[in-house]
Amino acid sequence: MPHSFPFLAPDQKKELSDIAHKIVATGKGILAADESTGSVAKRFQSINAENTEENRRLYRQLLFTADDRIDPCIGGVILFHETMYQKTDDGKVFTEYLKGRNMVVGIKVDKGVVPLAGTNGETTTQGLDGLYERCAQYKKDGADFAKWRCVMKITPTTPSNLAILENANVLARYASICQMHGIVPIIEPEILPDGDHDLKRCQYVTEKVLAAVYKALSDHHVYLEGTLLKPNMVTPGHSCSHKYSNQEIAMATVTALRRTVPPAVPGVTFLSGGQSEEEASINLNAMNQCPLHRPWALTFSYGRALQASALKAWCGKKENGKACQEEFIKRALANNQACQGKYASAGASAAGADSLFVANHAY
């Protein structure tokens, strides 16, 4: 316990830190395009497109080859394993193409959730077996960051102590292994928005979960400057009857993060969960206008919140390619503004939001 056995050399630390900072550079965030084959099936089904490997390739290609308007918006792209090895029509591997556009390539490395026996439907996440070797290979194949998603839920009996500890621990193991191979781990302890709990309850649970995550990262000797956090925003449950303003959501979220995320962490890249594209942008914008001091970048790592309209515009038809890309570019630009607190959404004005922030001792 009192002795240090450093496993990262100074140049390794520098590499990790540089990668993390590059991903969350001003105005930039992450395109989460790592939907597994099964998840893509659900998306494609909603637009009546067939879930074939070629369709998946064509769709991702549309996103990745959008014109240079997305260059200042996208710092990193998370890929699913299959996509890492697919190519553009010109025969260029996606990873190489994205790197050529100065975007950092990331890879989803977890293998999905598994139940925790004796709990009320809670889970942990698997994927540690052989992760060491897989990371080495992914690094060779062009990945510089990775993503691993843990899931918790709020009910009268959850999350339990076990769920919090187990998920925090597995996230720390994953992070430690990634760093040994020059891969920046994105740590995702998602607390689902399902339920009728209010904002305060979500804030309380998020604070406890994040405190456990950072204690586990410390115990596992993870180099925080070379990591990123991908948390849920603090929101009320989906079926909560009370409605909250974007400023209340921002205040609760930033307060929770200020109480738990050490300043050494370069960036927080929110997941969008079930939020609509516009909601996700407006909330992110409110975070970046919050009057509380924020020592890390607050940006996006959005899947659906960047792709929903694009997917709808595409509908699996080649002739809709341009329209699809335009929708994606629109969202990318909106989030580029939002992560700088400069987003003026259609219904609201950029100014005048300040007065809507309630004093922070209410949180």
Partner 1 sequence: MTHQFPSLSQELKKELSDIAQRIVAPGKGILAADESTGTMGQRLQKINVENNEENRRYFRNLLFTTEPSISNCVGGVIFFHETLYQKADSGKLFPQVIKDQGIVVGIKVDKGTAGLNGTNGETTTQGLDGLSERCAQYKKDGCDFAKWRCVLKISDSCPTALAIAENANVLARYASICQQNGLVPIVEPEILPDGDHDLLRCQYVTEKVLAAVYKALSDHHVYLEGTLLKPNMVTAGHSCTKKFTPQEVAMATVTTLRRTVPASVPGICFLSGGQSEEEASSNLSAINQVPLHRPWKLTFSYGRALQASALAAWQGKAANKAAAQEAFCSRAKINGLAAKGEYKPSSAADTASMQSLYMASYVY
Q: How far is the CB of 218 from partner 1 (least distance, A)?
A: 4
Burial (CB count within 10 angstroms: exposed 0-12, middle 13-18, buried 19+), residue 13: middle
Q: How far is the CB of 197 from partner 1 (least distance, A)?
A: 9
Find the binding residues for partner 1 in span 190-229 (CB under 8 A).
200-201, 204-205, 207-208, 211-212, 214-215, 218-219, 224-225
> Per the structure block, which two tokens stand in for 257?
């993060």
- Catalytic-role residue among 15, 35, 188, 277: 188
What is residue 269's three-state secondary structure?
A: strand
> CA-CA distance, 175 to 141, in Å (whole number)?
19
**Total number of residues binding partner 1 (CB under 8 A)?**
45
Find the binding residues for partner 1 in span 343-362 (CB under 8 A).
359-362
Q: Which helix (H) or strand (E) holds 82?
A: helix 81-84
Q: How far is the CB of 69 from partner 1 (least distance, A)?
A: 31
Q: Which residues contact 233 (CB under 8 A, 6 or more apart)?
A: 249, 253, 270, 273, 275, 283, 287
Q: Which residues contact 40 (CB under 8 A, 6 or more apart)?
A: 51, 56
Between 160 and 345, CB nearer to partner 1: 160
E strand spans, the chain: 29-33, 74-79, 104-108, 113-115, 123-125, 145-152, 184-191, 228-229, 267-270, 297-302
What is residue 225's three-state secondary structure?
A: helix
- Whole-angstrom CA distances from 330 to 67, 271, 305 are 11, 19, 11
Binding part of the chain for partner 1, among 52-60, 262-270, 308-316, 328-336 by CB under 8 A, reads 262-270
Between 106 and 266, CB nearer to partner 1: 266
- Catalytic-role residue among 147, 230, 277, 279: 230
Q: Which helix (H) or strand (E) holds 97?
A: helix 94-100
Q: How far is the CB of 280 from partner 1 (least distance, A)?
A: 24
Q: 287 — phi, psi (to 5°)?
A: -55, -45
Among 164, 172, 234, 332, binds partner 1 (CB under 8 A): 164
Between 97 and 244, CB nearer to partner 1: 244
Q: How far is the CB of 203 from partner 1 (least distance, A)?
A: 8
Find the binding residues for partner 1 in span 43-102 (CB under 8 A).
none
Between 13 and 134, CB nearer to partner 1: 13
Closest CA to 212 of 246, 177, 172, 247: 172
Closest CA to 101 of 58, 65, 60: 65
According to the binding rule CB under 8 A, does residue 293 interact with partner 1? yes
According to the binding rule CB under 8 A, does residue 17 interact with partner 1? yes
Find the binding residues for partner 1 in span 222-261 (CB under 8 A).
224-225, 255, 258-261
Per-residue burial over 218-251, b = 16 or more CB atoms within 10 Å of its CB, e = otherwise: eebebbbbbbbbbbbbbbbbeebeeebebbbbbb
Among 87, 99, 134, 294, binds partner 1 (CB under 8 A): 294
Q: Tell the residue number behind the tokens 């959850």, with chain if given.
A: 158
Does 230 qualify as catalytic in the annotation?
A: yes
Q: How far is the CB of 115 from partner 1 (least distance, A)?
A: 18
Q: How far is the CB of 183 from partner 1 (least distance, A)?
A: 16
Find the binding residues for partner 1 in span 102-161 (CB under 8 A).
154, 156-161
Active site residues: 188, 230
**Residues in contact with partner 1 by the rule CB under 8 A:** 1-4, 10, 13-14, 17, 154, 156-161, 164, 200-201, 204-205, 207-208, 211-212, 214-215, 218-219, 224-225, 255, 258-264, 293-295, 359-362
